Chains A and B, each alone.
Chain A
Amino acid sequence: MTDKLTPVAEEPIQADARSRELMASRPSSSFFKAVSAVVWKDVQAEVRSRELFSAMLVFSLLMILIFNFALELDVKTRQSVTAGVLWATFAFAGTLGLNRSMSIEKDRGCMDGLLLAPVDRSAIYFGKVISNLAFMLIVELIVLPVYSVLYNINLFIPGLLLVILLGSIGYVAVGTLLAAMSVQTRTRDILLPILLFPIIIPVLLAAVKASSGFLNGADMTEILPPLNLLIFYDIVFTAVAFMVFDSVVEE
């Protein structure tokens, strides 16, 4: 039997020219096609299951309802707490959505399926960001009129809608990256908010301040600094996430 144990070959690696020649051309997806494929897949799966969307929406509605009962305030005070209540609701509901979005990828090994595709891995990141942002914005669009009715405040101010859009972009840009990181751990549900909230504080502070400004009819000179901070944060953190996503998802 011993003679059948063949020692492993130790010859040096040769440039595998034959293999290269055999497989010279291969189709590969473009960056934008890969991004749109990820978005299409997420939307299609969500339309079927409605797991992520319904969890975020129900949680958001419950939160504003609880705040409505807890804060029995006069109209003026209600106006001053609106920005804080709104952003606290969006932030907590967003965490639920981000966790769920990445759990779907991890549970059946689909993240490996995504990573095996011959595309720039940042395409996967941007695809997930776009679908997460779309789900978050839809939830926000439903929450806003409900909040307006419950608190008797008009929230459909163009400036406020812009702040919600910018704040959501910053939140999702960082949140998607951190969700991709935390989903690989056993304590992913707890880890994501612990990692996310300290990093997202600048976005939340700027968003609350800018939202308050628009709600209270403040001067643009007061609103511009937090608005600029939001834009700056969105650009910087999207760029950082774009650069590090590959390292985060690889073992």
Chain B
Amino acid sequence: MITVKKLVKRFGLKTVLRGVNFSVQPGEFVALLGPNGAGKTTFLRILASLSRPTLGEVNVAGYLLPKEAAAVRARLGVVSHLPLLYGDLSAEENLRFYGRMYGIPNLESRITEVLEMVGLEHRRRDLTRTFSRGMQQRLAIGRAVLHDPDVMLFDEPYTGLDQDASTMLDDVLKTVAARGRTVVMTSHDLARAEDLATRFDILSRGVISASTTSRQLENSNLLAFYKQALAG
């Protein structure tokens, strides 16, 4: 579903990604872990077609980036730590706007379906600036799944959420993953990543330095693996 080969990204003289190789099978939930400044967000932005690779090949859902970016974007849902929502629009108006941008058929019924999925049906007419951070993040997930994408990218989705909101987000993420979507998530929360993902890749110093699966971790824990990968 996602194949990345020898990806390099430079910002001026600074090289952020130094030849990343990465592949994800359909239906896999991959947690991309690493310290601050490792290049996780840059990597996700390239997969999302928001940033151009300097060198290397990126193939998402069978389409090459940046050449076939529009086709990739139609199959992609992105959630970041920012909600990507307009505060002066209500929940349903935000979804209506994005639905129009994606050309979604039967939009009104889809909006109701998505609002029910993220548990915001009762707040559909309220302005999103009146929402708590947790509610905004749930609506952000609703926005990202509105066009029923096959690939979902989550960039630090738990940032700024309290315990209750994080637990709620867990449930929504599990629902998203249970529908067979391919998910790549960056996170600093190893416990949550361990609970949700089926594979764990460590991005360090601009390369994927180690990779393991939940099955391989059965008799160990992710924290020990993570520490060892960074030390190595």
Contacts and interface: CB of A to CB of B under 8 A. Distances in A.
Interface of A: 1-2, 4-10, 12-20, 22-23, 26-30, 33-34, 36-38, 40-41, 44-46, 48-49, 104, 108-110, 112-120, 250-251
Interface in B122-177: 127, 143, 147, 150
17 contacts: A8-B211, A12-B5, A18-B26, A22-B62, A28-B74, A33-B103, A45-B88, A45-B89, A48-B127, A110-B84, A110-B86, A113-B85, A115-B49, A116-B48, A116-B50, A116-B73, A117-B102
A8 B45 contact: no
Given A116-B50, A116-B73, A41 B86 contact: yes
A40 B225 contact: no
Given A8-B208, A48-B88, A114-B101, A1 B220 contact: yes
Interface string B71-101: 1011110101011111111000100011011
Contacts of B82: 108-109, 112
A120 B103 CA distance: 13
Given A4-B212, A48-B88, A112-B78, A27 B1 contact: no
B84 A112 contact: yes
Interface stretch (B32-40, B51-59, B190-198): B51-59
B112 interface: no
A251 B45 contact: yes
Most interface-central of B51, B52, B73, B85 (chain A CB within 10 A): B73
A113 B100 contact: no
Nearest to B213: A6
B109 interface: no
Given A23-B150, A48-B88, 18 more contacts: A1-B228, A6-B210, A13-B59, A19-B26, A28-B74, A34-B101, A41-B89, A45-B86, A112-B50, A112-B84, A113-B84, A116-B50, A116-B76, A116-B78, A117-B98, A117-B102, A120-B70, A250-B51
B109 to A, nearest CB: 14
Contacts of A4: 212, 216-217, 220, 225
Contacts of A114: 101
A139 to B, nearest CB: 19
A-B interface, 5 closest residue pairs, ranked by CB to CB distance from nearest: A109-B82, A19-B62, A29-B103, A113-B84, A37-B100
B62 A20 contact: yes
Contacts of B61: 16, 19-20, 23
A150 B221 CA distance: 76
Interface of B: 1, 3, 5, 21-23, 26, 45, 48-52, 57, 59, 61-63, 70-71, 73-76, 78, 80, 82-89, 93, 97-98, 100-105, 127, 143, 147, 150, 208, 210-212, 216-217, 220, 224-225, 228-229, 232
Contact of B80 (A6, A29, A49, A112): A112
A38 B52 CA distance: 24
B28 to A, nearest CB: 13
A18 to B, nearest CB: 8
Contact of B21 (A9, A20, A26, A30): A9
Given A20-B62, A40-B97, A250-B52, A26 B74 contact: yes
Nearest to B217: A4
Given A40-B97, A251-B45, A5 B229 contact: yes
Given A10-B21, A41-B86, A110-B84, A118 B70 contact: yes
Nearest to B51: A251
A115 B101 CA distance: 10
A112 B217 CA distance: 35
A28 B70 contact: yes
A37 B101 contact: yes
A36 B220 CA distance: 54
Contacts of B87: 108
Contacts of A22: 26, 62, 150
Contacts of A9: 21, 23
Contacts of A104: 86
